[in-house]
Structure 1
Amino acid sequence: MNPIVEKLTGMNVLTDQVIAMDLLNAAKSGVRNYAFAITESGTPEIKETLMRHLEEALDLHEQISNYLTKKGWYHAHEPNEQLILNLKNINTALNLPG
């Protein structure tokens, strides 16, 4: 989308928010996959390696969550606020021209 149109419609912020939320979801998936792999690992060495990767994935998830929270785009501890934000984003998406 044209940067001028993004700025006029407010889509530049929404685009950043969508990208950051996608990154958060990918980080959550990584955490889940490492945890699953740990339970299936065959040797202590593999388990130890996967545990290190899991810790890094958890740290990344925390950083992304903190970023989103600071921006006001994620309310993990306030479900009602998150629901309001989600509904607002849905309405914005439904009202896009095109």
Structure 2
Amino acid sequence: MANNTSLTDKDIALDLLSSSKGTIATLAKVLTETTNPKLRDALKNELTACINSHYRLSDIAISKGWYNAYASPQQQLQQDLSAINTITQ
């Protein structure tokens, strides 16, 4: 098995997408539990900014072929398995 420890643009983009999903979920949860109007406005603005950033990053990943958002779950699984086989060879 090759010891490939370098990160690619694809790795970074997919990691950022995963992280932004978590941030969006957390902001949405906190927003629903906030009663202070000023804090709620600040959280709404941050949530909107995060969603917009996630959209732009998703668009880049899809256009570069790094993320196939429109594939069926079976196709996505097959792509992941092929990538794993490539890494472990």
Same fold, TM exceeding 0.5?
yes
Paired residue type of 2:48: E
Matched, 1:17 2:13: no
Paired residue type of 1:78: A
Residue number among 33, 50, 60 corresponding to 2:43 in the alignment? 50
Which has the larger share of helix? 1
CA distance in 2, matches of 1:48, 1:64: 24
Query: Retained in 2: the 8 A contact 1:68–1:74?
Result: yes
Query: Retained in 2: the 8 A contact 1:24–1:61?
Result: yes
Task: Give the unaligned 5+ runs of structure 2.
Answer: none
Paired residue type of 1:42: T
Q: Please provide the CA RMSD for this pair.
A: 2.0
What is the identity percentage for the equivalent residue pairs of Structure 1 and Structure 2?
33
TM-score (norm 1): 0.75
> SS of the residue aligned with 1:22?
helix
CA distance in 1, matches of 2:68, 2:32: 31
Match of 1:63 in 2: 56
TM-score (norm 2): 0.82
Matched, 1:82 2:76: yes
Matched, 1:38 2:31: yes
Larger RCO (CA within 8 A; separation ≥ 6): 2
CA distance in 1, matches of 2:83, 2:10: 10
CA distance in 2, matches of 1:31, 1:49: 14
Match of 2:19 in 1: 26
